[in-house]
Structure 1
Amino acid sequence: MIIDTHCHIYSSEMENAEEIISEAGNNGICVILNGIDVSSNKEVLELVAKYDNAYAALGYFYSVADEITDEDIALLDSQIENDNVVAVGEIGLDYYYTKDNADKQKELFEKMLDLAQKHDLPVIVHSRKSMQDTFDILKKHDVVGSMHCYQGSAEMAREFIKLGFYIGIGGPITYKNNKKTKKVIKTMDINHMLVETDSPYLTPQDKRGEKNTPLNLKYIIREIAHELDLDEDEVIEITTENAKTLFKI
């Protein structure tokens, strides 16, 4: 078994979502489907009820920080009680396009972390151009989780690991000019690493131009094995155990 710890496989992102989930299962891949808003959270719950190889992570993303209401928070609070939910996510901060609503992003992020604490669930965190704020907020909460598609430094990765976080490694590790992520994985223990695709995004180098799917985990695993001088089976075994431990699968 291999666990794709982060993907967005539902109809608003991929027309053939159910086919992709089924195909992943036929290839020994479990998927954690990450919702980001009211509609995708609803669909994720519907999908994971149908497929034994699919688990749910529910949350409200930074992109909806300006529109989420108290009623939406209450809805998510109730949805998280579903037995198929293994994490609160995808949540976090993103200042890449704008910091104008940074305060609202932080407020929503904190509410998501509060829900994770309440339900004793790990979190799946997005952080882009916002690493220090993300770290400072996580320090204030008693949570563990995954730093999805980690883009920070090796030094900061060690600080997140100290907080109890795993480092999510996806398609960008295969990009020839991505020396930063390659350095990160070489300076950390693989026992703190997860593999993910972020399907349909961040397609590995060998499949650039196509929508990403969980089947492309093999390219990510191959690159990690190459960089760390490990057997691919060893990378699969360790990262799968890491995911099972974090998400209690």
Structure 2
Amino acid sequence: MILMIIDTHCHIYDSEMEDADEIIRQAAENDIQLILNGTDPQSNIEVLELSSRYDNVHAALGYLYPFADEVSDEDITLLDKQLENNNVVAVGEIGIDYYHTKENKEKQKELFEKMLELSEKHGLPVIVHSRKSMQDTFDILKSHDVVGSMHCYQGSAEMAKEFVKIGFNIGIGGPVTHKNNKKVRKTLQKVGIDNIVLETDSPYLSPEEKRGEVNTPFNLKYIIRKIAEELDMAEDDVVKTTSLNAKKMFKLNCPGL
């Protein structure tokens, strides 16, 4: 049986990395499905275009916190229309981040709320970024009828369990392999494989074995290996379970699953 691997969060398009098309083609040859995450109007257009050309590409569209100060009503209307595309499986990457800037907290939260309203309108899960803003993120999500994944989760293991309770998977990527990142490995242990999805955040967050290099979906093997080691599982079982988690969460039509 072919094992289908799903990278639920990556930025493989021209405005973020070179050779995007070649990486996508090679991923298909290696049975890797990709959910490409847009973060602003330009990247959303790129993601939609790629999803129309490649069977292994699924689109997630959203406006992330750096866009909070400039988003317009026209931008929201455009995204609302784009989310009707059949290749779209999620609203994301969206969220709030007080690590990079605290000056516009209210605008970040306002944009996040608008993204969640679009998720509810279109019946789509969300892919959420949260850094130094975990409680606000949780409180806002809890007030909406949404499910999804917590991208590159950086909160406590205890809080992760609370996100799971309200319908969220925890995205595990390269940081789980970093020698000094015991926090992510503790979260992994606490939430268990049934609440995990794989991600790379390519071209960012390379695993320990590839630090200093551009990250790609082919580095999922290191993440899978580490999860298997931490949970005392076979690597194939990590792939099977996380892929089924992703398929269910994002309603993916993937052959072999």
TM-score, normalising length: structure 2: 0.96
SS at match of 1:221: helix
SS at match of 1:107: helix
- 1:2 is matched with 5
Distance 1:189 1:128 in 2: 22
Distance 2:81 2:196 in 1: 30
SS at match of 1:245: helix
Q: What is the CA distance between 1:189 and its match in structure 2?
A: 2.4
Distance 2:236 2:101 in 1: 41
Distance 1:97 1:145 in 2: 23
Distance 2:130 2:100 in 1: 13
- 2:255 is matched with none
Distance 1:56 1:23 in 2: 18
Distance 1:79 1:24 in 2: 25
- 2:37 is matched with 34
**Pick aligned residue for 1:234 from 234, 237, 242:** 237
- 2:95 is matched with 92
Tell me, yes or no, if structure 1 residue 114 matches structure 2 residue 131: no
Distance 1:149 1:42 in 2: 24
Q: What is the CA distance between 1:97 and its match in structure 2?
A: 2.1
- 1:104 is matched with 107
Moved over 3 A (4+): none
**Pick aligned residue for 1:247 from 247, 250, 255:** 250
Across the two proteins, how many residue pairs are aligned to each other? 249
Distance 1:221 1:18 in 2: 24
- 2:179 is matched with 176
Structure 2 gaps, min length 5: 253-257
Distance 2:18 2:195 in 1: 33
What are the Cα deviations for residues 11-56 of structure 1, in whole angstroms up to 9, with x where unaligned?
0111211111111111110000000000000010000101000000
Distance 1:167 1:187 in 2: 11
Tell me, yes or no, if structure 1 residue 161 matches structure 2 residue 164: yes
What are the Cα deviations for residues 135-155 of structure 1, in whole angstroms up to 9, with x where unaligned?
010010000000001001010
Tell me, yes or no, if structure 1 residue 56 matches structure 2 residue 59: yes
Distance 2:95 2:155 in 1: 14
What are the Cα deviations for residues 67-96 of structure 1, in whole angstroms up to 9, with x where unaligned?
010000000000000000000000000010
Where in structure 2 are the equivalents of 1:131-210 lying within 5 Å?
Answer: 131-210=134-213
Q: CA RMSD in A?
A: 0.5
**Pick aligned residue for 1:223 from 219, 222, 226:** 226
SS at match of 2:53: coil
SS at match of 1:187: helix
What are the Cα deviations for residues 153-187 of structure 1, in whole angstroms up to 9, with x where unaligned?
01000100010000000000000000001111111
TM-score, normalising length: structure 1: 0.99
Amino acid at match of 2:146: V
Distance 1:146 1:97 in 2: 21
What are the Cα deviations for residues 119-142 of structure 1, in whole angstroms up to 9, with x where unaligned?
000000000000000001001000
